[in-house]
Structure 1
Amino acid sequence: MTTARLRMSRVALLPVVVLLVCVLPLASAAAWTPVFLLVPALAAAYVLRVGVDVGDAGITVRSLAGSRRVPWGEVAGLRVGERGELWLVTTRGTELRLPALRARDLPRLAGVSGGRIPAPGPA
């Protein structure tokens, strides 16, 4: 099994482009204001980097600043939050938020996990 990368849709970059266009006049106002260009740059980095990688070794949760790998042996299950967000529950009792994934993504996550995460059935 190869590593499956579950990320935000690239369509999320469209608001980042709009933000960039809106920030450009402000960024050209004075010598110190190009620092405002960091806001759309960080937003684009967030869209491109944040997500979940699922492979043979386990699940890697990627954030903007770093990543954390959880081997399959340490995965106890998943928890669906009140607003539909997914949390990875480990055997140590800790929880990791799975960014860019919601409850509607459970069938896709189950499919790429190779059967390690069960597919949700009808309620």
Structure 2
Amino acid sequence: MNVVVTARMRMSRTALLPVVLLFVCFVPLAFAASWTPVVLLVPLLAAFWVLRVGVDVADDGVTVRSLLGSRRVAWADVAGIRVGRRADLWLVTTGGTEVRLPVLRPRDLPRLAALSGGRFAVPEPPR
């Protein structure tokens, strides 16, 4: 039996606190008219986003989860990691495509490198 160990990198659950506040603020609006309870879907979608979006790192590859879908990239298809202009991380594939790694920042690179099993190294900061 082959066991795959997966590390989940998600947004902190404390991000649900503003979502609860948003829900409390939307409750009076939700009961203003017969059609307005629909606005309660906004905090519900925000909570689902906080709980779902992230990156799963396993022995056989990386799975990037978005709000509605996911994309799996095998380690053999990973060419490297690129840091974007706004300090977001992008997984560069050997096919030339890039996959954004949500909720990860450059400070997460050492942990990501360790979870990858040494498949890429973290560059030293400039001196």
TM-score between both structures, scaled by the size of structure 1:
0.95
Q: Does 1:112 align with 2:93?
A: no
| 1:20 Cα deviation from its structure 2 partner | 0.4
- Helix, strand or coil at the partner of 2:100: strand
TM-score between both structures, scaled by the size of structure 2:
0.92
CA–CA separation in structure 2 for the residues paired with 1:103 and 1:79: 10
Q: Does 1:71 align with 2:74?
A: yes
Q: Aligned-residue CA RMSD in angstroms?
A: 1.1
CA–CA separation in structure 1 for the residues paired with 2:78 and 2:18: 35
Match of 2:36 in 1: 33
- Aligned mate of 2:84, from 81, 84, 104: 81
Match of 2:95 in 1: 92
Number of residue pairs matched by the alignment: 123
CA–CA separation in structure 1 for the residues paired with 2:54 and 2:79: 20
Q: Where does the alignment leave 5 or more consecutive residues of structure 1 unmatched? A: none
- Helix, strand or coil at the partner of 1:100: coil
| 1:7 Cα deviation from its structure 2 partner | 0.4
CA–CA separation in structure 1 for the residues paired with 2:96 and 2:77: 10
Q: Where does the alignment leave 5 or more consecutive residues of structure 2 unmatched? A: none
- Aligned mate of 1:56, from 52, 56, 59: 59
| 1:31 Cα deviation from its structure 2 partner | 1.5
| 1:65 Cα deviation from its structure 2 partner | 0.7
| 1:119 Cα deviation from its structure 2 partner | 2.9
Match of 1:15 in 2: 18
- Helix, strand or coil at the partner of 1:53: strand
Contact 1:6-1:53 within 8 A present in 2 as well: yes
CA–CA separation in structure 2 for the residues paired with 1:24 and 1:117: 48
1:19-53 deviations in whole A, cap 9, x for unaligned?
Answer: 00000000111221110000000100110000000
